[in-house]
Amino acid sequence: MIKLMKIFHDNTVNILSTALDFKGQGVGSATEDTIHMIKNFLPYEVRVNSKEPCAIIHAHTPNVGFLFNILKNRKKSGIVISAHIIPDSLKESLILAPLWVRGFQIYLVEFYNLADRIIAVSPEVKKELKRLGVKPRIEVVPNFVSSSIFYPGTLEKKMKLREKYSIGKDEFVAIGVGQVQPRKGIKEFVETAKFLPDVKFLWIGNMPFGTATQGYRKMKDIMRKHPSNVMFLNYIPREKLRELYVLSDLFFFPSHQETFGLVIIEAAMCGLPLLLKDLTVYRDIFHDAYLKGTTPQEYAEVIEKFKRDKEDLMSYRKKAVDLAKNYDERNVAKHLFEVYKKVREEKGV
């Protein structure tokens, strides 16, 4: 555990997040990971959604109730806000977003401007926050995953898991994980499967926001009417999700927009090669550790190549494992500790 360089009177951190109430979406997972990391690696006592003053208030979702909490305690607490959400995150996620996202953007910027420090999960998000007019100092602290939860499995374990989930031992399996919504590239995932009838495609995820999901009926139709080589497995708890990663051969994630993509690191930690949509945000954080495409046909060509070329598959598997080491919670804990420490020293809390 990291030791404080200076003795502070109060070593409590209050995590503010309603995302914990919605299983199967990334901000909730990121909040859970932050709580786990603080408890295990930082010298702080964690409180969740408390109204009492703490040394640090660390908000993960921009709720109005949290705004009042921050305003009430900002003189007594260091205020850190993780910017998991930017306006573009909502456009293919929630119903009628184009009609209200401009108003939400104004509120979001005002909420972020209450912070002493903003945490951006990627350099691309930092650029976007500055463009939107966010004024506090912005630190890039990436999302992270615990290697005690997500790690590679043996070939023997892989075969046993395939038997458990009724998947053939010789089938090539591509897995995607995330909410079922247009932004995650669900349509492209299924369209890609149509090019490759001999490949099994698994999508793990649900619609945690129900009928408020953008394209709810269309998503329901896709989940009901899809090729026989596609399986939708609904939400699976993270402690069981590793099993699905381990039995798979490739992580395929054609999402249209991400601020980081936490599930990408989960899959990489389990040793899966990565096939992602060609998004600018990935270039600075994942470098050359993934293959990319933009259309179902391009994705299908990459998958077909991986099926044929086992040496290439293993090469990208190694790249993924090496990439994941950068995002283990032990390494990221040091960055978060420094953010907290600087904020407390500046405010004298």
The string of DSSP codes covering 91-121 is TTTBTTHHHHHHHHHHHHHHHHTT-SEEEES
Q: Are 63 and 27 in contact (CB under 8 A)?
A: no
Q: How far is CA 278 from CA 208, 256, 290, in A?
A: 26, 9, 10
Which residue type, as a one-letter code, is found at position 2?
I
- Please give the model's pTM, rounded to 2 decimal places: 0.88
In a domain, 245, yes or no: yes
Structural domain total, the chain = 2
Which residue type, as a one-letter code, is found at position 274?
L
Distance CA 102, CA 88 (A): 10
Q: Are 202 and 173 in contact (CB under 8 A)?
A: yes
In a domain, 78, yes or no: yes
pLDDT reported for residue 247: 98
pLDDT reported for residue 20: 84
Pair (38, 176) in one structural domain: no
In a domain, 4, yes or no: no
Q: Are 344 and 56 in contact (CB under 8 A)?
A: yes
Distance CA 17, CA 346 (A): 25
At residue 172, the 3 state secondary structure works out as strand
Distance CA 201, CA 204 (A): 10
Pair (38, 169) in one structural domain: no
Enter the DSSP assignment of 2: P
pLDDT reported for residue 109: 96
Pair (183, 111) in one structural domain: no
Residue 339: count of CB within 10 angstroms of its CB = 20
pLDDT reported for residue 5: 45
Averaged over successive runs of 10 residues, the pLDDT of the chain (349 residues) comes to 54 94 81 95 96 94 94 95 85 63 89 98 95 97 92 95 94 96 95 98 89 85 94 89 98 95 96 97 94 97 94 95 93 94 94
Q: What domain range includes position 57?
A: 12-144+329-347
The CATH number of whichever domain residue 39 belongs to comes to 3.40.50.2000
pLDDT reported for residue 124: 93
pLDDT reported for residue 97: 62
Pair (200, 96) in one structural domain: no
